[in-house]
A and B are shown apart, each in its own frame.
Chain A
Amino acid sequence: MQRRACSTIARLVVATLAMTALPCCNPDLADDSFLVDTPRVLAVQAVPAEAAPGDRVTLHALVGDRNGAQTDATLDWTLCRARKPLSELGPVSRACLAPAPREPTPDSELVPLEPGLSTQVTLPRDACRLFGPNPPEPAPGEPAGRPIDPDGTGGFYVPVTVAFGDAPRTLASVRVFCPLAGLTQRDSAELTRRYRRNTNPAIASLLLVPSGSAEPLEAPQDGSGQPPTVRVGQAVRLNAGWASCASDAESCTGAELYARFDVRDRRIVMQREAMRISWLTTAGALSPARSGRDATDSATEADTLWTAPDVPGDVVLFVVARDDRGGSSFSAHRVHVVAP
């Protein structure tokens, strides 16, 4: 009886506090960046997804606006050779965010590339010294400099920036293959033997499952088939699938298994790629705007909920797949939204 009384008193105290208190803390900062209503870059894909210094890489951009994917956008691409200081907490040196000079010199940190929706870039031959594990050139009389640390997947990246109209500048990162430094000879040899360069992921299927419907609808890429039809305001589950990768596959367009050096345990481990899907739309709402599977999850699909707009018309859904080794792919899918 006494125990119950104490418990009751405690609950009363908390309830009293609850009545006097008002919501606090978190401001309402809705993220509507999934809505493509002005022209901007939505994704950048590097082909191949991982290359060695001196290799030529093709960069493709997905540019979208309220009408769908643009096919004739002119983008200004710039290769950045500026090393990021340790005091810079972002992914790239601030020097990379400036426009390229009209007439670059051989020493220029910013090198303009061919404009267009796609471009080609030759990875600098000293990329592993600029952005990788090779020590930078020391100043005369100074000891060796500090190399760049790899990311969690053991990777290094060459920055390329993209300018397009009034949209914020885009940073594209090209994964460059550099042998890791600081390993024992045995670990280095084993990693070289087991490592497989990254392959861009591919979206194997996109299905729409409107609420109240048992049958999923296929959504072909824009321009390649009959678009599916949904009703205004209808809730539609979007499901993106990718390939399942065998552990011994040389390359795979799903969540690949790859070898990396675990800095914590100091040994070579096999790890599955994490896969992320970014969802974008020209109309309606998406929740969540990003979904995916982390490295411990072997599922080969991710989904989201799209609410169709309240007005009939054509809507374009963009799906961007990214693995955590810098690989990506993208597609655009048109949907007819009709009145009930």
Chain B
Amino acid sequence: MLADEARRVPGTSGDVLRVVESMPGVARATAGSGALVAWGAAPEDTRVFVDGVPVPRLYHDGGLRSVVGADLVRSVELVPGGYGAAFGRGLGGIVTVATRPLDDTGTHGSLSLDVFDLGGSVRTALSDRWHVQLAGRRSHVDTALREIAQRDVGDLFPLPHYTDAQLRIGYRASARESLELVSLLSTDTTSRTARDPDPARETHEDRTLAFGRLYLKYRRELADGSVVSVVPFVGLDRPELTSRFGFVTTELRERTTLGGVRASYRTRAERWLVLETGLDLDVRTAAFTRTGSTAAPAREGDVRVFGQPPPGQLARDTWRVESIGVAPYVEADIALFGDRVHVIPGLRIDPNARSTSRLLPREGDTPARGGFSQDLSIEPRLAVRYAPSQAVTLRAAVGSYRQPAAAQDASAAFGNPTLPPARGIHTVASAALRLSEHLSIEATTFYTSASRLAVRSPFEAPIRAEALVPTGIARSFGAQLLLRHELARGFFGWLSYSIVRSERAANDEAPTRLFDFDQTHTLTAVASYDLGAGFELGVRLRVASGYPRTQVVGAYWDARADLYQPIFGAQNGTRIPLFFQLDARASKRFHIATTELEVFLDVQNVTNRSNAEELVYDATYRTRRAITGLPILPSLGAAWRF
């Protein structure tokens, strides 16, 4: 989707990349999480790329803003499954963000202010060949939310505080060759403390995620129309978590340095054949420190209830993981039968090696013994597109995918240093019908499966250094329908409905259960209309099933802790109630000399519905209630563009 269209979608507050949460196939995230769940894949399995460079997240904490300023974005694309050979190392989907070319003449920019943050950007042509763009943003939403919600909202949901900044320096050697240096910086910090006269019940959490990327974007179009693209990059990821629940302290600190190159050569070898060959190189060094319980932070699949204290057993580990993956790929686009059929085979070969600093938990002064593993993954991909007529397009895709084990799971005390990569298969089929010049309808069905997922050891006496075992299996299947009206005569919008079932099992013999992020029904309707004279109106409707939760069917009393502990029923046997939200946006653009001032009112939850976001119980687990999301939330703002 192009940025100009995405910016006007209600509920996005002008943030182009927030349109992804309204796209078909994306589950509605819990308020305050910002998690991206596409076609039943875990949030950490969907990869995000900016200009082909991997970044750890698309949204800041809370999901209110993306990590890249709107003025930098040309387009955003979500491929929930069945993506091509150029990308890999992820079992979920991919989100690819393309930055806009730096080719404007003169000086342009924007300044925006709303209840969430203050942001601005400026881009200018230093000369015919040199361009520069600088953008930044700083939040104040935590201050604003404390004014409009109950004082204890920060006790339950961490109020986000974020900043991001981008710098781009572009050199246009010619109309066909360009080089650009890009820097991305993002920080998120949240902190909350719930005081209690009982020291065993006082809680505190500090969370920080800072990351940076620096990359060169080189593109050259050759005389024969072939395109060469090389993007070397380096980066840093710095997530930190410190939390305390009574006497149980959890600390998790990560320092990752990464680098790589994404290079491709795309050429029309024959009239009927387009070939792309490329290389996806990724090198990482990660150092971790972790203290606390094996059960904190919680993992997908843990049977737990919101607010349940973590177990009191504590361990500590420090470990390093170095990994390198060098993935050449080739993809062909073969046009047949007068261009009505395109067969797109691809092959990605991903040899990778990994070393881990410690294979066993620390024992006194015994020197650590590390480990080394290597893996060769051959990932064929195939897509077919058939257009029997101008109005009808049929697509199908199948592919093999692989995802390295998370470096965070390679602890000998908390995880398993010998976890192998997980594997998956995606199959997708779709049919699209163009109903008119601007109206189209598309039906898609999919089936994905995965194996060798890391899950908690179910044994009473797990083997040392195997707190996690690679026996988890997953499958997701479903269908979605999309009716879309492209921008025409001031109106655009879409109506999408998806029905998805996502399941997990701890191993081949364990019973299947619903995935923690399974969301059976998701209905999204978006409409935006330009009334003329600078006025624009838009609405967004979202209806979604609630996430599964495990019901508490009883309780026992822990006399040592003076706490009731839950007794659970069937895992994920109940759900959070249905979510319904209507958002609206109204804006007015004023032209002031050569600049444009847009004043907008973005109202989330127009009907002020109390949507349940989480299930909670009283201290004895006899009474169940729901934590509700934010009430009607008007966001008055202004954006000045020049």
Pairwise interchain contact A29-B153, C-beta atoms closer than 8 A: no
Which of A142, A169, A183 sits near B556, CB closer than 8 Å?
Answer: A169
Residues of chain B with a CB closer than 8 A to A22's CB: 608, 631-632
Residues of chain B with a CB closer than 8 A to A171's CB: 556-560, 565
How far is the CB of A84 from the nearest CB of chain B, in Å? Answer: 7
Q: Which of A12-20, A223-231, A233-241 contacts B (4 or more CB under 8 A)?
A: A12-20
Mask: chain A, 304-327; 1 = CB below 8 Å from B; 0 = not: 100000000000000010101010
Which of B199, B310, B567, B627 sits near A293, CB closer than 8 Å?
Answer: B199
Pairwise interchain contact A25-B150, C-beta atoms closer than 8 A: yes
**Complex Cα gap A124–B250 (Å):** 31
Residue of A nearest to B560 (CB): A173
Pairwise interchain contact A89-B302, C-beta atoms closer than 8 A: yes
Residue of A nearest to B365 (CB): A184
Mask: chain B, 254-296; 1 = CB below 8 Å from A; 0 = not: 0000000000000000000000000000000000000101110
B391 contacts chain A at the CB level, 8 A cutoff: no
Q: A43-B559, A292-B198 are in contact. Are A20 and B636 (CB under 8 A)?
A: no
How far is the CB of B428 from the nearest CB of chain A, in Å? Answer: 33
How far is the CB of A197 from the nearest CB of chain B, in Å? Answer: 16
B422 contacts chain A at the CB level, 8 A cutoff: no
Within B540-574, which residues are at the interface with A (CB < 8 Å)?
554-562, 564-567
> Which among A27, A169, A294 has the highest number of chain B CB atoms within 10 Å?
A27
How far is the CB of A203 from the nearest CB of chain B, in Å? Answer: 15
Within B585-642, which residues are at the interface with A (CB < 8 Å)?
608, 610, 616-620, 623, 625-634, 636
Query: What is the interface residue range for chain A against chain B?
Result: 35 or more
**Complex Cα gap A304–B197 (Å):** 9
A157 contacts chain B at the CB level, 8 A cutoff: yes
**Complex Cα gap A161–B617 (Å):** 23
Residues of chain B with a CB closer than 8 A to A150's CB: 313-314
**Complex Cα gap A13–B566 (Å):** 44
B interface size (C-beta, 8 A): 88
Residue of B nearest to A27 (CB): B625
Which of A274, A320, A328 sits near B247, CB closer than 8 Å?
Answer: A274
Residue of B nearest to A326 (CB): B560
Pairwise interchain contact A30-B157, C-beta atoms closer than 8 A: no
Q: A22-B631, A146-B464 are in contact. Are A292 and B197 (CB under 8 A)?
A: yes
Residues of chain A with a CB closer than 8 A to B625's CB: 27-29
Within A40-86, which residues are at the interface with B (CB < 8 Å)?
40-41, 43-44, 82-86
Which A residues are closer than 8 A to B by beta carbons? Answer: 13-14, 16-18, 20-31, 33, 40-41, 43-44, 82-87, 89-91, 93-94, 97, 135-138, 142-146, 148-153, 157, 161-162, 167-173, 181-185, 187, 263-264, 274, 276, 278, 288, 290-295, 302, 304, 320, 322, 324, 326, 328
CB pairs A–B below 8 angstroms (28 shown):
A17-B633, A21-B148, A23-B150, A25-B630, A27-B616, A29-B617, A41-B557, A83-B461, A85-B459, A87-B302, A89-B298, A91-B311, A97-B556, A135-B464, A136-B461, A149-B294, A149-B313, A170-B557, A184-B364, A184-B365, A263-B314, A264-B251, A276-B198, A290-B197, A290-B198, A292-B197, A294-B199, A302-B197
Which B residues are closer than 8 A to A by beta carbons? Answer: 115, 144, 147-150, 152-153, 155-157, 196-202, 247-249, 251, 291, 293-295, 298, 302-304, 308, 310-316, 361-365, 456-467, 506, 554-562, 564-567, 608, 610, 616-620, 623, 625-634, 636
Given A171-B565, A276-B200, 11 more pairs with CB closer than 8 A: A14-B148, A21-B633, A25-B153, A27-B626, A27-B627, A31-B620, A44-B559, A85-B462, A138-B463, A168-B556, A292-B199
